[in-house]
Chains A and B, each alone.
Chain A
Amino acid sequence: MSDKTIKIRVTRFRPEEEDEPTEQVYDVPYQDDWVVLDALNYIKDQVDGTLSYRWSCRMGVCGSCGMMINGAPKLTCATFLKDYYPKEIVIQPLANFPIIRDLVVDVDDFMAKLKAVKPWIIREEQKPVEEGEYLQSPQELKDYKQFSQCINCLLCYSACPVYGLEDVFIGPAALALAHRYNMDSRDEGYAQRTVIAASSEGIWECTFIGECSVVCPKHVDPAAAIQRTKVETTNNWYKSFLMPWGDK
């Protein structure tokens, strides 16, 4: 290990001791292939065990380690120190969420919204398992595949000014997931899901800023999902009174 170091400025919030967050600066050894998470682990293991943050898989698939790094929402396990060195790195909890402790935010709001959009296959009748799988062509799979890649890291909620200003907004990830199920050829739940998704707190809160898609580490493109849902629900609305005999 060389003796290069880098400064890490971390938000601290100890609700038992203080009413507002403060900051603390640590000197961390710099290594070329270290990610920001490695720096946080170094601090916790060797310097200050009282620093609390979430992490798990360290390979960008569990979605635990989202934080603001120099003002931008990122996964700390996928952000390299070398992209900032020798400048200081500022780590803050994910924006637009209440802070529980240090870098840990309250995501209960998202969990409730996730459930509200009914992200499961809704069918009038399920085929018995003995009869085998529902056939789904590779093209039908492709139609929703991209939107199924969401790791629920919530960077998109941090990036969305609408969610920041009005937290009734159901939000990019939940709406993208609703779209994923709507587009799944096996699903029949469009009507049920649309009640929530196309409500005033759903897609119509979105003003297509598009920042959610910019920060998404999995290229889900929730902004596209929301706009497509807008197009579809609008078309269906016209169809419903222009062609009331139609289905769905």
Chain B
Amino acid sequence: MNQPHNEYQYDTYKPKMSPTWWLKSRRYFMFMMRELSSVFVAGFVLLLLYQIFLLTKGPEVYASFQRSLMTPKFIAFYSVAFVFSVYHTFTWLGVVGRIQIVRIGSYTMPPKIMTASTFVGFFFVSAVIGYIFLR
């Protein structure tokens, strides 16, 4: 827009956003929790990698590490990480239907069916893995 700029004698008022904006509504808060969940997921993965690395250090070192994992500190961490991981997964799966459009010929899969099938897939894979590791 081509306007003479010296005619605006008065400034607009620029409101500042508060650093606690994410406490203003439940949805904003849950978004922050979703972001926070990545930290715990990352922490779990790092611990898992370390655990695998320790396999190369021999059975005593590995066993001693396993014992240390059974302390309240680690159990607490893993519990919290589990809850966050599930939340992270569900929020992720919940949006796949909106983002990935699946088309087979002239048939477009409705987003709800798409989302439902990802959840079904998730539970199925979880069941298989659970069976393998807990048997």
Q: Which residues of A contact B (CB under 8 A)?
A: 13, 15-16, 19-21, 71, 95-96, 98-100, 106, 108, 111, 139, 161, 164-165, 207-211, 214, 221, 223-224, 227-228, 231
Q: Is the Cβ of B12 less than 8 Å from the Cβ of A209?
A: no
Q: Which residues on A sit within 8 Å (CB–CB) of B98? A: 221, 223-224, 227
- A210 partner residues in chain B, CB cutoff 8 A: 27, 31, 95
List 26 A-B pairs, Cβ < 8 Å. A15-B10, A15-B13, A16-B10, A20-B13, A21-B13, A96-B15, A98-B12, A98-B13, A98-B14, A98-B15, A99-B13, A99-B15, A111-B1, A139-B106, A161-B28, A165-B21, A207-B35, A208-B95, A209-B28, A210-B27, A211-B28, A221-B98, A224-B98, A227-B98, A227-B99, A228-B101
Write the nearest CB–CB distance from B10 to chain A, whole angstroms: 4
Give the residues in chain B near A161, CB-CB below 8 Å.
Answer: 17, 21-22, 28
Return A225 CB to nearest CB of chain B, in Å: 10
Given contacts A161-B21, A164-B21, contact A99 B12 (CB under 8 A): yes
Question: Which residues of B are at the interface with A, using a C-beta cutoff of 8 A?
Answer: 1, 10-15, 17, 21-22, 24-25, 27-28, 31, 35, 95, 98-101, 106, 108
Docked-complex contact A106 and B28, CB < 8 angstroms: no
- The CA-CA distance from A125 to B69 in the complex, in Å, is 67
Known interface pairs A227-B98, A227-B99, A231-B100; A71-B24 also in contact (CB < 8 Å): yes
Chain B residues with CB under 8 Å of A227's CB are 95, 98-99
Nearest residue, chain A, Cβ from B13:
A99
**A96 cross-chain contacts in B, Cβ below 8 A:** 15, 17
In the bound assembly, the distance between CA atoms of A160 and B80 in angstroms comes to 29
Note all chain A residues with C-beta closer than 8 A to B24: 71
Q: Determine how close the nearest CB of chain B comes to the CB of A178; give it in whole angstroms.
A: 16
Structural contact, A224 and B99, CB atoms closer than 8 A:
yes
